[in-house]
Amino acid sequence: MKELILILDFGGQYTHLIARRMRELKVYSEIEDPAISTERLKEYGQKYNLRGLILSGGPSSVYSGNAVEYNKEVFNLTIPILGICYGHQLIAYVFGGKVSHAGKEEYGIGRLKVRRPVGIFQDVEPEETIWISHADIVEELPKDFEVLGETRNCPIAAFRHTAMPIYGVQFHPEVEHTRPGMKILGNFAYLICGCSPSLETGDFVEQAVREIREQARGSKAIVALSGGIDSSTAAVLASRALGKSLTAVFVDHGFMREGEGVTVKRTFEGLGLNVIAVNAEKVFLEKLKGVRDPEQKRKVVGEGFIRVLEDAAKSVGAEYLIQGTIYPDRIESGETKHSSVIKTHHNVGGIPSAVAFKGIIEPLKDLYKDEVRYVARELGLPESIVKRHVFPGPGAVVRIMGEITPEKQAIWRRVDRIVQEELEKEIFYYDLWMAFPVLLETRSTGVRGDARAFGYTVAIRAVESKDTMTANFSQLPYHFLERLSTRITNEVPEVTRVVYDITNKPPATMEWE
């Protein structure tokens, strides 16, 4: 019988990362609602060898009126339990401890001092780098619990029950920035739960092709193709599944990089796909007129995309839409029941409730970006696409602050061309997850010659990441940044100032909007 570690999702932004880490440890896991019924729990027990339970983080407080409901029976399962962040606090609360608002909230990199290197902390160094994101802390432990670790502002950063296999950590071992994270999760899975590393992922490409065929049911389909790694991978997968029954549609909404449409069409026709390009720039500019709110922008773009794609599908007799949605798109859009909306991705929360398609097929919806890159290589996509920097579906719409105007659109495009030209000259290009300019609404005074100038401010953002759920700003060389600034202010006279964004994710997101 297959071993299983069940993960209860309390709405944390990193919940799916826990399942991802279990997969890397070759341990099977599934994510469930905390209010899972007792009958459903019994089904898991009959179908799998249920070895452990992980309680995820989440945005709520255990004392708040909107705290996530959960089935108290999960604490009577007599299997090992690991609580992470909110889950850590919930365990303390359930067993009679005290949780309170932290005197000082902690977000980002922290240092953990391990008091007792036992259980999940076996073979973990006495002091380690960890990732913290919390406002509440466990102030008092319940009876029969002991402290295993602490941070500067959190005296009870990790604990365990002295008799039962129950553990809690205030930090996030699933996040890459926690240096001993895989060791801690591995200790829980292997030492505490007794799991073996037996999970085999199998051939994703073969499975995805089969599922696309099954979902399309012999009908024609279109795939939304932007030229980015996600849509490109989805397009080639769909092409293998559907052949000539598939049409790739490139929607030029006017907020792509210079020459993007020509490059995309040439590349994918060379890979054997039937590609049509739709110029919808005027349509999107009109729809975005007067719109300033970032969430509204994304929703306008999402609906606009669907309507253009519906027309394209009608012209070729297609009934299904295939798109390259990946898991971070879904989690940041608040798709899971208890998760907060960080930003609505145009291909998830931006999709209107009523669409003309029989169905929307998303073959990559459970993958992270680095996994998509792996699949892309398996499919034989060129490295220029596999290693390409991430570009958002809404394009410059979310990189131009405030209302979109033709003037700002043209300025951003010229600045972006300079940024991309300079980046492509550098060896560190492939170390970056993404790098791009943001055109701010802020204007500032400058000097051109001997005269006063008053122009736009451009922010440069460059980040390094593995799975897009967290990221560090890239410490680009000063001489490179100076070269960028000089070119931008010399060649784009409407810009008088260039600044560099040095914020990690969290607290920031990848994009500015």
Q: d(Cα 34, Cα 90) in Å, to the nearest integer?
A: 12
The pairing of beta strand 221-224 with beta strand 145-151: unpaired
The one-character DSSP state at 389 is P
Q: Torsions phi, psi of 56, nearest 5? A: -80, 175
Three-state DSSP string of 427-466: HHHHHCCEEEEEEEEEEEEEEECCEEEEEEEEEEEEEECC
Closest by alpha carbon to 275, among 310, 232, 218, 212? 232
The first and second tokens of residue 373, run together, are 């890159």
The first and second tokens of residue 80, run together, are 């090992």
| Sheet of strand 221-224: strand arrangement | 275-279, 246-252, 221-224, 320-322, 359-361
Helix or strand holding residue 158 (H, E): strand 154-161
Instruction: Describe the chain by its helix, strand, coil percentages, rounded to 5.
Output: 35, 25, 40
Q: State the CB neighbour count (10 A cutoff) for residue 380.
A: 9
Q: d(Cα 510, Cα 503) in Å, to the nearest integer?
A: 9
Contact call for residues 262 and 283 (beta carbons, < 8 A)? no
Catalytic positions are 85, 172, 174
Q: d(Cα 425, Cα 180) in Å, to the nearest integer?
A: 36
